[in-house]
Amino acid sequence: MKAWRVHRHANPTKALELDEIDDLEPGPEQVRIAVRSTVLNFNDIDGCYGRYRTVNPPLPYVAGMEVVGVVDAVGAGAEEWLGKRVMTTPDGAMGGYAEQALAGLDMLFEVPESLDDREAAAFFFPFHLSHLSLHERAQLREGESVLIHAAAGGIGSAAVQLAKAAGAKVLATAGSEAKLELCRELGADAVFDYTSGDFSPWVVEQTDGKGVDVVFDTVGGEVTERSWQCIGLNGRHVMVGFSSGIDREDSGFEPRAILFGNFALLGVILVYTRNADAIKQATGWNFMPRSVGDEVEAHLEELLASKTIRPVIGRVVGFDEVPAALEAMEARKTMGRTVVEVQG
Sign, CA dihedral 44-45-48-54, equals negative
The reply to whether domains 2-115+312-341 and 125-267 share a CATH topology is no
Q: Are 102 and 26 in contact (CB under 8 A)?
A: yes
Mean pLDDT for all residues in the chain: 95
Lowest model confidence (mean pLDDT) among 15-19, 87-91, 148-152, 221-225: 221-225
**Which tens digits make up the pLDDT trace of 231-273?**
999 999 999 987 765 555 555 677 888 889 999 999 999 999 9
Cβ burial, residue 205 (10 Å; 0-12/13-18/19+): exposed
Instruction: Quote the pLDDT of residue 257.
Output: 85
Give CA angle at 300 (83, 174), nearest 5°.
Answer: 115
CA–CA dist 183, 161 (Å, integer): 9
Average pLDDT over residues 160-180: 97
Q: What is the CA radius of gyration of the chain?
A: 20
Length, in residues, of the chain? 344
Instruction: Quote the pLDDT of residue 111.
Output: 98
CATH class label, 125-267: alpha beta
Superfamily of domain 2-115+312-341, CATH level 4: Medium-chain alcohol dehydrogenases, catalytic domain (3.90.180.10)
Domain boundaries, the chain: 2-115+312-341, 125-267
CA–CA dist 2, 275 (Å, integer): 33
